Chain A
C-alpha cells in the first residue's frame, strides 16, 4: 500500500509543484475563463485529450472491450471523427471568439443568434447535464483507491478518499482558472496518454508472449458488431458513433478548448498532433481490453481490468503506475468540467442579467466552482443507484445543442426561435424516449433516443429558418459575422457587428 499510495502522492505533488511554479495571476475574466487565448498547439492538443479521455476510459471502456469485444472500438471512431469537426470549426469559432471576447459556448450561441435567452438555456442544459458525469467521475476514483489500497479500504471508504483527493486538487483549479487547467493538462496528459500508452503496449506484448493470448484465442462473440438480427438493432453502432462525434462538442468543457488557443493555426495544428496520439492510445487500450478478457479474474471484475493485468504483469510497482495513469486522466476531466461550469455560472447565468466588473465575474466563477465541488463531492459519497442512467439521460439531452451549434456555425440561415424551439423539443423528446426505452429504440432499428430527437430538432430548426425569415437588420448582422471569418485571411481589420438584445 505504501508503494501504490506513494506513487499517487508523488504524482499529485508533481502536478501541484508545476502549478505553483507557473505563478499564474489572472488580470481579467477572459484570462481566468479561457486562459487569455494564449496556448500553442502542443498545450491545446494535450488539453483536448486530457479532457476528452477521462479516467473511466481505463475502467469503463477497458471493461467494455474485455466483456463485449470489438463493439468497444466505436469510441475510437467517434473520438477521431470529432477531431474532424474541430478542424472544420476552428476558424469561425476562434475568429468570433477573439473578435467578440467570447468566453463560453453559450456566448457563441448568443452572438450567432442575437439572443440573450439562448445563452441561459444552453448554460442550464450544460451545467445540469454535466453534474451526473462529474459525480460519476469522482465515484470512479473509488475503484482506483480501493484497488490501490490492496483491499484495505472498503468501497465507501475508497470513494470518500477519492473524493477528498480530487476535491483537494480543485483548490488549484479554483485559484488558477483555465491557465491552471491547461498547464496541468500537459503534465497529466503525459502520464495518462504517453506513459499510459507505453504501459498498454507493454502489457499487450506481455499477454502475447507470457500468456500466449492472441486474437485467435478469443471467443467468436468478441468480434460481433450489432447488425441485422442483433438485439440492439442494425443502426445502433451508427447512432453511437454519430451522437458521440457531434455530441462531444456540446459539452461546455470540451467546446471551450476552441477559445483557449492562441490562433486558428494552433487549433488546426493541435488537431494534427492529437489524432495520432489518440489513435495509438485508444487502439492499444481496446486491444489490451480484448486480450485481457482471457486473464483470470477479469471476466468477474471487468471494471478492474487495468489494475488486475498491471498487478499480475508487474507487481505493486506497475500497479502503482497504473493508478497514477488513471488519476492523471481523471484529474484532467474533472478539472475541465469544474472550471468550465464555474465560468458558465458567472458569465452565462449571473453575468447575463447583471452588469458585473471583471473582478466580480472572477469571484463568482470561483464561488461557483467551489460550490460545484462541494455539491459533487457530497453526491459522490451518497448511494445513488440511478446515477448512471441519469448520466445517459443527460447525454441524450445535451447533444440537442448540436443543431443550433453546428448549423449556426456553418449555415447563415436559422434564427433564435428555431434554435430554442428545436433544442427544447429535442431535449424533451430525448429524455422521454430514454426513460421509456433506455439504451436504444427497438422500433427505430437501434437508434438511440438522442439521435431520434436530433432529427426532430433539425426539422424544427430548418422549418423556422425558412418559415420565419429574419429581418433585414438581422440578416445583415449575420452576414457580417460570416464575412468576418472570410475577411480574416486577407485583412486584420475586423468588423464589429453587435448581438441584438
Chain B
C-alpha cells in the first residue's frame, strides 16, 4: 500500500467494519430487493416485501449500536 492510499487506521473490531460493509450490501444490492418485489408471503407477521425493508433497517440500526458499544469499550470513541 502506498502512502497516498493509507487511510487513518482504526482499532475497531474487524467484524464491525465487515458489518458496515454488509449494511451497504443488503441495503443496495438490487437482486435482494428484486427478490422481495411483490411478495406478500408472511415472514414474522409481515408481508415479505415489507419484511425485507424492516429487516434491513434493523440490521443497519443494530450495526451502529453494536459499533458504539464496541468502540466505547475499546476507547475508539474519543
Contact = CB atoms under 8 A, between A and B. Distances in A.
A, B co-complexed: yes
Interface of A: 70, 73-74, 76-78, 80-81, 83-84, 87-88, 91-92, 215, 220, 223-228, 234-235, 237-238, 241-242, 245, 263-265, 268-269, 271-272, 275-276, 278-279, 282-283, 287, 290, 410-413, 465, 475, 479, 482, 485-486, 488-489
A411 B28 CA distance: 23
A87 B63 CA distance: 11
A412 B7 contact: yes
Given A81-B60, A223-B38, 12 more contacts: A70-B47, A76-B57, A215-B40, A220-B38, A224-B49, A225-B33, A245-B27, A271-B68, A275-B64, A276-B61, A282-B57, A283-B57
A241 B28 contact: yes
The listed residue with most A CB atoms (<10 A of its CB), out of B34, B37, B46, B48, is B37
B34 A279 contact: no
B53 A70 contact: yes
B58 A279 contact: yes
A235 to B, nearest CB: 6
Contacts of B63: 84
A237 B27 CA distance: 10
B68 A413 contact: no
Interface string B1-44: 00111111100000000001001100111100110111110000
Contacts of A227: 33-34, 37
A80 B60 contact: yes
Contacts of A77: 27, 53, 56-57, 60
Contacts of A242: 28
Nearest to A276: B61
Given A70-B50, A84-B23, A237-B30, A224 B38 contact: yes
Nearest to B65: A272
A486 B9 contact: yes
Contacts of A263: 78
A235 B64 CA distance: 26
Contacts of B61: 80, 275-276, 278-279
Given A80-B61, A283-B57, A225 B49 contact: yes
A265 B57 contact: no
A232 to B, nearest CB: 12
Contacts of B20: 84, 88
25 contacts: A73-B53, A78-B27, A80-B57, A81-B27, A84-B60, A91-B8, A215-B46, A215-B47, A215-B50, A224-B37, A224-B38, A225-B52, A234-B30, A234-B34, A237-B30, A238-B28, A241-B27, A263-B78, A265-B77, A268-B67, A269-B68, A271-B68, A275-B60, A279-B57, A479-B3
Given A80-B60, A223-B38, A279-B57, A237 B33 contact: yes
B77 to A, nearest CB: 4
Interface SS of B by simple majority: helix
Place the interface of chain B in its size category.
35 or more
B38 A411 contact: no
A249 B38 CA distance: 32
B49 A70 contact: yes
A78 B6 CA distance: 28
The listed residue with most B CB atoms (<10 A of its CB), out of A70, A269, A283, is A70
B57 A92 contact: no
Contacts of A215: 40, 46-47, 50
Contacts of A220: 38, 40
Contacts of A88: 20
Nearest to A263: B78
Contacts of A412: 3-7
Contact of A225 (B38, B64, B68, B75): B38
A200 to B, nearest CB: 15
Contacts of A410: 7
A126 to B, nearest CB: 25
Given A220-B40, A412-B6, A413-B5, A81 B53 contact: no
A465 B28 CA distance: 27
Nearest to B48: A223
Contacts of A475: 3-4
A225 B37 contact: yes
B68 A81 contact: no
The listed residue with most A CB atoms (<10 A of its CB), out of B23, B27, B63, is B27
